[in-house]
Amino acid sequence: MSEWKAKRFWKEAGIAPAEGGWQVLLDSRPVRTPAKAALVLPTQALARAVAAEWQAQEERIDPRSMPVTRTSNSAIDKVALQRAEVAEMLAAYGGSDLLCYRALGPAELVARQAVEWDPLLDWVRERYGAELSTVSGVMPVTQDAAALERLSAPVREMEPFALAAFHDLVALSGSLVLALAVIEERLEAEEAWRLSRLDEEWQIEQWGADEEAEAMAQVKRTAFLDAASFWRLLH
């Protein structure tokens, strides 16, 4: 990733139409991905967001401040080369979805999970015709194959840029259901993230926060919200 460490060499970052979408120009030079592919964005809004990240760079490029650029690079350099495999990997989360695994106790946590998570399982049943079973404890539950197929269908239809964003929504939350709820606008991203942290927040309420774990959770939360923002820019 040595190319990421270069000093800023451009004055203005802008956008221009390109074959298949929009490209970002640093002065007159088109931006390329780390693998040297053309960085062509499918929507003008996404291109503007990438250009804004490049324009905001100071003396040296800091990739940590460029989530839209990073996800776009990933879509082109990685996801596009193995789209079917990525889609299948994400669809597989439906078989072990976070919302289907409930605590054995205490009763207050069990009740909280039911109140907060059951409406989302009701939603996927109504929206996709997918009935997911829940289980208490960590023993795996075998989900209905037809239900999983219905949840998988929209994932398999996603193009690489959508899959790149959807990947983070699923992997960071541990829930295909929550990710689908975000992209379908059933939930705001912040609310979906809160629901994915229900167990952890319960533990914090009982025993207090661990500083290191909290810092890591904030990093993941930011990445989750960035993925939701990327999805909106794409659509």
- Checking if the pLDDT of 4 tops 70, the result is no
Taking the C-alpha atoms of residue 186 and residue 219, their distance in angstroms, rounded to an integer, is 24
According to DSSP, the β-strands at 135-136 and 101-102 are parallel
What is the rounded average pLDDT for all residues in the chain? 95
Mean pLDDT of 28-54: 96
- 2-57: CATH topology: ATP12-like (3.30.2180)
The pLDDT score that the predictor gives to residue 102 is 96
pTM of the model: 0.94
Over residues 179-213, the pLDDT tens digits come to 999 999 999 999 999 999 999 999 999 999 899 99
DSSP string across 153-167: HHHHT--HHHHHHHH
Q: Where in the chain is the domain with CATH 3.30.2180.10?
A: 2-57
| Max CA distance (Å), the chain | 63
| CATH numeric code, 81-234 | 1.10.3580.10
